[in-house]
Amino acid sequence: MLPPTIPTSFVPHSSSAAARRFGTNFNNAFGFFSYAVLLIIFLLAIGIFFYDRVLENNQASKNAALARAEAAIDLPTVESFVRLRNRLSSGTTLLGSHVALSNFFSLVETLVPTTVRFTSLHLTVDDVKAVKLEGTGIAKSFNALAAASAAFATDGRIKEAIFSNIVVTKDNTVSFALSATIDQKLVAFSL
């Protein structure tokens, strides 16, 4: 008989099993990566779900606060504020187009010598807001009229001043006619 240490049959191992033992299995690494991506996507989906619930609760509380604020609005007070706003804007429009002549008369008083006086003045405002001055007057002498013309020229707010129809009368006074353009700011209403 044979010694008991010797096997009675022999099965050879395949070569592919030996290669698996010593090599890297890429299928397991790809599977691990796929499960990790799936886990991350699942966690993001849960986060988005809960964030949606938070936003819905926030919107519901804001809608309730808005409804309370709308209920607290006093319609007569709102109507009075709207009426006041309309009146203020109408007042601003009226004042913006209002002609105030006090600045013009103050300027004429300071520029024109006391020996020159106007017998008539006509101011006209056209569609483009240009102010035209036409008037007649009497000066004590021709030199006084020349001084008034020089004062208008140096000031610059009464522009294109033209003295015409100059006539020396029997009592040596000088009558004249004046036409000029006035700076719009000089007759504009201002506070």
In a domain, residue 58? The reply is no
In a domain, residue 123? The reply is yes
In a domain, residue 3? The reply is no
Q: What is the mean pLDDT of residues 155-163?
A: 84
Distance CA 126, CA 75 (A): 44
pLDDT band at 31 (very low <50, low <70, confident <90, very high): confident
Residue 26 has pLDDT above 80, yes or no: no
In a domain, residue 84? The reply is no
Contact 170, 153 (CB under 8 A): no
- Supply the pLDDT for residue 44: 96
In a domain, residue 116? The reply is yes
Distance CA 2, CA 9 (A): 13
In a domain, residue 51? The reply is no
In a domain, residue 74? The reply is no
Kindly report the CATH number assigned to the domain that includes residue 149. 3.30.70.2830
**6 or 72: whose pLDDT is higher?**
72
pLDDT band at 153 (very low <50, low <70, confident <90, very high): confident
- Tell me: the pLDDT tens digits for 44-85? 999 999 999 999 999 999 999 999 998 888 888 889 999 999
* Percent of the chain's residues with pLDDT above 90: 26
State phi, psi for 99 to the nearest 5 degrees.
-100, 125
Query: Domain range holding 182?
Result: 102-187
- Supply the pLDDT for residue 154: 86
Contact 126, 132 (CB under 8 A): yes
Q: How many domains does the chain have?
A: 1
- Tell me: the pLDDT tens digits for 90-112? 988 887 767 777 778 888 888 88
In a domain, residue 131? The reply is yes
Distance CA 46, CA 164 (A): 94
